[in-house]
Structure 1
Amino acid sequence: MKNRLIEALPPAEASRLAPHMVVVDMERGRTAHEAGDPVEHVLFPLSGVISLMTLLENGGAIECGMVGNEGAVGLPAALRPRTALVRAVVQAPTRAIRVSASVMQEVWPHDQRLRALVDLNSEALYIQAAQSVACNASHSVEERLCRWLLSFQDRLPGQVLRLTQEYLADMMGVQRTTITAVARHLQARGAIRYRRGQIEVVDRQALELCACECYGVVRRACGHGAPGEGPGLNGESSGPS
């Protein structure tokens, strides 16, 4: 298990962080940080998924970003002390490298590569949030659900996703009955198989055909696309400038 940001650091820069790295295991449902709290640690997932949630006045929360082993949570705190703007929630059991934000702030001014990775990670999260706004306003619930399932599966091995319909409805800001109807339709088309608390992706290609273009945009921004499709998080732009 590896984190692609950590792997992208040159050996000399990685060695500065190595003594301060602690591997932690976080269960599903754990809050890594709450909106408004000081960001005390930066998390570099090795496996699993952490969702970034925008909070609503009615107590609800809608996902605005998703982080797996391609990125980090709380990385802007490497530049200077930060207050979290969103809630970070573990959505699948996650193993991560944890580094104190204060240590990152000491190392950051001296490491050019680390500074570049902070910028790339911030750009990828910004694209996710911006694309979510456009997606929620322009695309059907079915298109959005397919996009979300594909993005979730990109960050997890295997095809069985442990997700309830209630959870998906909360994530997407829609009624549970709407998710139920869409899930039944996708199951009838042979794209997924749903059992209580579990969704199995049976035909990924069918999901990709049903998903909106936002999936490809975010996939490339997070470095999951094929070579030549975008900058990703490897520190190099592989597409045309």
Structure 2
Amino acid sequence: MTAIASLVRTAADGKPPPFSTNRLLAALRPDALAALAPLLTPIELAIDATLFDSGDDVETTYLPCGPTQVSLLVITADGQEIEAASVGREGAIGGVVSAGYKPAYGRAVVRTPGQAFSLPTTQLEEVKTRVPAVADLFDRYADVMIAHMMQLVACNALHPIEQRACRWLLFAHDRSGDAPIRLTQETLAQLLGVQRTTISTVARTLQDAGIIHIGRGRLEVLDRPALEKRACECHDAVEAHFHRLLPKVEL
């Protein structure tokens, strides 16, 4: 794997994000959080940074904060990248499957840059063995991730591209809030496995309807209720399952 030292840096030149900016950490009881806190390093994740690649041992676990968003990608034989799931402030990348050698099946790439916490996966596994609350939280999140991926399989097979694009934007808006989503139409097309011209048509339709505003590499959601109406049921299905399993964790 290409070294990521140039793509991530310790956030030593500014204040580290509070633990509440990652919802998994915010859901921990104070005693459980105290077991993890000394191990967490605040870092900045740069856009397009590859956190690990297919076949790599997942040595580091990342917990995104605020609007930071990472795509988990499946890489085809001809080099195409298709998004299997995305992770933001509600979750973690790495550290979800416990113990042993953990080769990654796909690639993790930063789509929306920003702050995160990192820690060695081996240290996280050690805390899980000592603190049942931490192990339980990550086990529940692993179940949510499986549900997310299962729903995306159904979505990609059954729903038209406009609904799928709106579903993706809803998840991104959950994490970014009112801040613009840093995203190009070309990137969204790659993630959804369609031609850029297809996404351009969808984007123009949504912009003409006053639902989004497209800038240079940036997208703003102007009318969230209208975006929800245009999307399929997949966003709501995943969110409902998330809150059933992790009722104290907010998206």
d(CA) in 2 for partners of 1:68, 1:109: 25
What amino acid is aligned across from residue 138 of structure 1 in structure 2? L
Show the counterpart of 1:25: 44
d(CA) in 2 for partners of 1:232, 1:63: 24
* 1:64 match: secondary structure: strand
Native 8 Å contact 2:61 2:121 kept in 1: yes
Native 8 Å contact 1:220 1:232 kept in 2: no
State the number of aligned residues.
Answer: 229
Show the counterpart of 1:55: 75
Show the counterpart of 1:92: 112
1:113 aligns with 2:133: yes
What is the alpha-carbon root mean square deviation over aligned residues?
1.6
Show the counterpart of 2:26: 7
d(CA) in 1 for partners of 2:221, 2:121: 37
Show the counterpart of 2:191: 171
1:40 aligns with 2:59: yes
Show the counterpart of 2:7: none
d(CA) in 1 for partners of 2:60, 2:147: 23
Please state how far the C-alpha of 1:109 moved relative to its aligned partner. 1.3
d(CA) in 1 for partners of 2:61, 2:46: 17
What amino acid is aligned across from residue 119 of structure 2 in structure 1? V
Native 8 Å contact 1:3 1:45 kept in 2: yes
Native 8 Å contact 1:77 1:105 kept in 2: no
Q: CA 1:152/1:132 → structure 2, altered by over 3 Å: closer, same or farther?
A: same
Q: Deviations over 1:176-196 (max 9, x none)?
A: 111111111111222112233
Native 8 Å contact 2:70 2:110 kept in 1: yes
Show the counterpart of 2:248: 234
Identity %: 38
* 1:155 match: secondary structure: helix
Native 8 Å contact 1:169 1:175 kept in 2: yes
Q: Decide which moves more: 205-214 or 72-81.
A: 72-81
Counterparts of 1:79-158 in structure 2, within 5 Å, are 79-158=99-178
d(CA) in 1 for partners of 2:209, 2:36: 48
* 1:71 match: secondary structure: coil
* Structure 1 gaps, min length 5: 224-229, 236-241
Q: Decide which moves more: 7-16 or 33-42.
A: 7-16
Native 8 Å contact 1:33 1:84 kept in 2: yes
Q: Decide which moves more: 189-198 or 33-42.
A: 189-198
Please state how far the C-alpha of 1:110 moved relative to its aligned partner. 1.7
* Structure 2 gaps, min length 5: 1-17
Native 8 Å contact 2:73 2:107 kept in 1: yes
* 1:32 match: secondary structure: strand
* 1:84 match: secondary structure: coil
* 1:24 match: secondary structure: strand
d(CA) in 1 for partners of 2:216, 2:116: 28
Please state how far the C-alpha of 1:73 moved relative to its aligned partner. 0.6
